[in-house]
Structure 1
Amino acid sequence: MTLTFATYNIQFGLGQDGKFDTSRIADAVAEADIVCFQEVVQGWPRDDFEDQAATIAGRLNYFYVFGSTFDVDGSFRDEAGKVVNRRRTFGNMVASRWPISASRTLHLRKKPSPGVFDLQRCAVEAIVELPSGPIRVYSTHLGHQAPSHRMPQVEALREYIFRAPYEGAPIDAPHPLPPDSAFDWTEGLPFVPAPNSAILAGDFNCRPTSEEYAHLCGDPHPKHGRARHYDQLVDTWVVSGHEEEGVSTIYTREGDYKIDHVLVTDDLAAKVTGSRVATEVTASDHYPIFVEFDL
């Protein structure tokens, strides 16, 4: 089967024209079968308290999971004194043409930065049930402040991704009570362990020349591109035939400013057939990246 994958930092729906429009975000990546989104928000006044995850998934008619990096209070009392519960969230999302059988959210380490704007970060894991077999997909957004903030985050991601297949399923075995029992906690839900194949995608806030990128993809080698360990990933942009740099994924920077990446495990690297940065899309300050796979 042919799989079209995309990753897109949507800047909470704010386009290059200064307008909020979540629908055009979804339309920009409608050709993709699986999409990782970053900077997705729910319950903020600036866009009329929209649940952007639900809006995007609804317009695409896709399955989705959303994980918030932070969740803060947006509640109030109405004129009658009744509490109206509302949360303001910000995080990452995975949307898929096919069902997502299980999901987890990994909160990445945050170093406090007194007096400096910073955010809690996370990675959202989704096990997507492709017709060709299950695959793990991670949508992430790393810290923007400094390499010292990002390095603990990429260390956690690397460990998390390669440990996942050995941790078992969300539920390791059927409940001991009969499936038709009213006390069957699992209600007959089938779960399988995480597959080995994985895609890590998102806004890494670092270029291929960075130490953080090398920690994920291997150190530069004069003859072999990257000298990787067994627990490191492959950049789909490079295996598509591109140089590591020479393109920007954010419209305010020109040339070598590729900070959005799609990385895969070895088995998927051999199945990449193409990749492109959609610089014609203006719905966010970032451009979406598309990757084609022949599975």
Structure 2
Amino acid sequence: MIVITWNVQWGRGVDGRVDLARIVDVARRWAPFDVLCLQEIADNYPGLQGLPAGVDQFAELARLLPDFHAVDGVAVERWTPGLGRQRFGNMVLCRQPPLQVLRHRLPGPPDPQHHSMPRMALEVVVDAPGGPLRLMTTHLEYYSALQRAAQVDALRHLQEEAAAHPHPGRPGKQDGPFEPRPRGPRAVLTGDFNCDASDPQIARLQAPLGGAPRWVDAWTCAHPNQPHAKTVGLYDHAQWHHRSSAFDFCFVSEDLAPRVRRLEVDLQVQASDHQPVLLELDLTR
């Protein structure tokens, strides 16, 4: 299974052009991906540079990938006079039909000294060799370290919660919302974590869990003892002030760590201020 994760900055490249078709083309040329996890997708946000009013990027991406199942993960949803509904968040597009979708609101404790916005984690469960696989993507808080730390703890709790659910679920209650659907501890967590690989929160995310396979940074599986490739600020020096960092990660549940075949960062593309990250898992052995 090939998973690509990318903070696409609503499709705005270093050249200032907003072009989601370019994003999809870059991903397709890179690899025959099974799952595309995207952050910073916008709907009707003319305040974002290069975006006119009324553009629904969630719908546009679904049209650009008609053979994929498109799942939106809206973190911000509001109604603005003169504009109507506005949405901003994440998206997962997967070849396989989802078994179920969960949208987790992440905590945002008060931190009045910093700007912040609502954050969420999108979870899409698919059938895979060996059993259900949870595919998650998120985009953590940038300005508030307090909120980002709380969100890391929430991601740890979500892994513990999923592992604690019975497999299979309680029988009965078929063909209704109480019908049990598989979830399970096997998981991939991708996204923009808005902190560098050396940040204590990255270590915190990977700390042991009570009764659940912990999160493991897939980079360390594919490139042991090597520094993380930078994933943001390589080319957009105006926005990042000549400061590049490794903000974008793929984590796998510990039981999947031996199945990491490769983890790559495209260091050439300039279709966003972030670089895309590719994870390949061997789920067949």
* TM, length-normalised to structure 2: 0.84
d(CA) in 1 for partners of 2:258, 2:15: 39
Residue aligning to 2:275: 287
Amino acid at match of 1:98: Q
Amino acid at match of 1:65: V
Amino acid at match of 1:286: H
Contact 1:248 1:255 in 2 (8 A): no
**1:156-198, Cα deviation, whole Å (9 max, x unpaired):** 11001221243469x955447xxxxxxx755xx9642202210
Assess, with a 3 A threshold, how the Cα gap between structure 1 residues 64 and 185 changes in structure 2: closer, same or farther.
same
Alignment identity in percent? 31
d(CA) in 1 for partners of 2:277, 2:38: 11
d(CA) in 2 for partners of 1:215, 1:244: 20
Residue aligning to 2:16: 18
Deviates more, 1:22-31 or 1:239-248: 239-248
Residue aligning to 1:55: 60
Residue aligning to 2:85: 87
**1:109-129, Cα deviation, whole Å (9 max, x unpaired):** 113444743211110111022
Give the superposition deviation at 1:131: 5.6
Q: What secondary structure, in the 3-state scheme, does the structure 2 residue paired with 1:270 have?
A: helix
Assess, with a 3 A threshold, how the Cα gap between structure 1 residues 35 and 132 changes in structure 2: closer, same or farther.
farther
Q: What secondary structure, in the 3-state scheme, does the structure 1 residue paired with 2:149 have?
A: helix
Amino acid at match of 2:107: R
Instruction: Give the total of aligned pairs.
Output: 267
Is 1:27 aligned to 2:50, yes or no? Answer: no
Assess, with a 3 A threshold, how the Cα gap between structure 1 residues 50 and 244 changes in structure 2: closer, same or farther.
farther
d(CA) in 1 for partners of 2:36, 2:161: 23
Residue aligning to 1:216: 205
* TM, length-normalised to structure 1: 0.81
Please identify the structure whose Cα radius of gyration is greater: 1
Residue aligning to 1:222: none
Segments of structure 2 that go 5 or more residues without pairing to the other structure are: none
* Residue 156 (structure 2) aligned to one of 136, 158, 182: 158
Give the superposition deviation at 1:288: 0.6
Is 1:271 aligned to 2:259, yes or no? Answer: yes
d(CA) in 2 for partners of 1:268, 1:231: 9
Assess, with a 3 A threshold, how the Cα gap between structure 1 residues 242 and 258 changes in structure 2: closer, same or farther.
farther
Task: State the Cα RMSD in Å.
Answer: 2.6
**1:97-143, Cα deviation, whole Å (9 max, x unpaired):** 11112111111111344474321111011102236542101111111
Residue aligning to 1:199: 188
